[in-house]
Amino acid sequence: MGDGGVVTCRGPGTPYEDRFGAIDSPTCGYRYSEQGTYTVRALTNWSAVWRSNTGEHGVFTWQVVSSTVINMGEAQALNQ
């Protein structure tokens, strides 16, 4: 996650909805403890099992890696 943290997700995660407010993702999320610029790296593992009508079969596996730089910050406002 760019700050030494690691997240392992076993599925696609839960899309954010306004009703969640500030609670953490129930399935796959991460919370930074400090504002800053972080290089985030994502790694996805895929596999596909195949079988032909002649009896041949096998498994393809591959890995996709991507990274990006994010600026993590927070702004708060209070109206009275």
Mean pLDDT, rounded, of the chain: 87
**pLDDT at residue 5, as a whole number:** 92
Residue 17 pLDDT exceeds 80: yes
Q: Are 52 and 59 in contact (CB under 8 A)?
A: no
Q: Are 70 and 37 in contact (CB under 8 A)?
A: yes
In this prediction the pTM is 0.61
Quick one: pLDDT band at residue 37, thresholds 50, 70, 90? very high
Give me the percent of the chain exceeding a pLDDT of 90: 50
Quick one: pLDDT band at residue 50, thresholds 50, 70, 90? very high
What gap in Å lies between CA 6 and CA 40, rounded to an integer? 10
Which residues, 6+ apart, have CB-to-CB distance to 78 below 8 Å? none
